[in-house]
Amino acid sequence: MSSLDKKIVLIIGGASGFGFQTAVQSLKLGADVKIIGRHKNRVDDAVKQLCTVSSQISGAAVDASDEQQLKQYLEKTGKVDHVVSMLGGAMGGGFFDAPFEEIKHAIDQKFFTNLMVGRTVAPYIKDHGSLTFTSGTGGHPYDASGAIIGNQAINTMVAGMAVEAAPRIRVNAVAPTWTPTGLWRGLSEDQLKQNENGMTSQIPLNRVSDPEEVASAYIFLMNNEFVTGQAINVDGGISVV
């Protein structure tokens, strides 16, 4: 029996991309999955699709970056076994050429929002449960300044939270690189292809990932009860070149 069978999994940002695929895989393993996101129409559409996998799915429109909204949702929902946060964004530009506010916003989105989320949801996670964040790899400080700092800060936060939360809950992160997901829905098809080609040329495996491959890492971290304080890179090797 899977350790996710009959477990309650909350996915913050579960309406698309990695979050959606993590929901699919969790449902297939027998979990009761709850997804939340800022846009009601996207959450409703995702729930409709996920219902074809299992009836053990529910969704709600919640802006998880708003501490009060998140608390109200958790109070209503009650305790869960696992929480996965997909929160965070991306940016381009170095420390000199990117606008100051853009750098600050990227760090806020990646790190400070997830710090708030972690502090808020931890009391609602059952004993022996887990909290998994989303970090990232790829890019360089000179061309993705705020995003790089945010990712590194998440990894540091995970290491600290894992010790503070042990042995009651485990804290980890998944660190993907560029993948064609809903995060890039604002790009045209040509822009998406250009980005994909650019990333493929840098990745040792000579391709970008499928969201399903990244989602499997979140499943692993929920399932393996002896992993904590880790950031697992699912990036085709771009982090080692």
What are the residue boundaries of the structural domains of the chain, listed by start?
Answer: 8-233
pLDDT tens digits for 193-218? 777 787 888 999 999 899 999 999 99
**Predicted TM-score of the model (pTM):** 0.94
Counting runs of H as helices and runs of E as strands, what totals does the chain give?
8, 7
What's the pLDDT at 81? 98
What's the pLDDT at 167? 98
pLDDT tens digits for 97-129? 999 999 999 999 999 999 999 999 999 999 999
Structure token digits, residue 184 = 């890039």
Nearest one of 170, 229, 185, 238 to 209, comparing CA atoms: 238
What's the pLDDT at 184? 61
Q: Specify the CATH class of 8-233 in words.
A: alpha beta
Distance CA 79, CA 63 (A): 19
Residue 101 burial (CB count, 10 A) = 10
137 vs 1: which has the higher pLDDT = 137
Which residues, listed in sequence order, are joined to residue 233 by a DSSP beta bridge? 175
What's the pLDDT at 2? 63
What's the pLDDT at 90? 84
Q: What is the 3-state composition of the chain as percent helix, strand, coil, each rounded to the nearest 5?
A: 45, 20, 35
Band the pLDDT of 158: cuts 50, 70, 90. very high
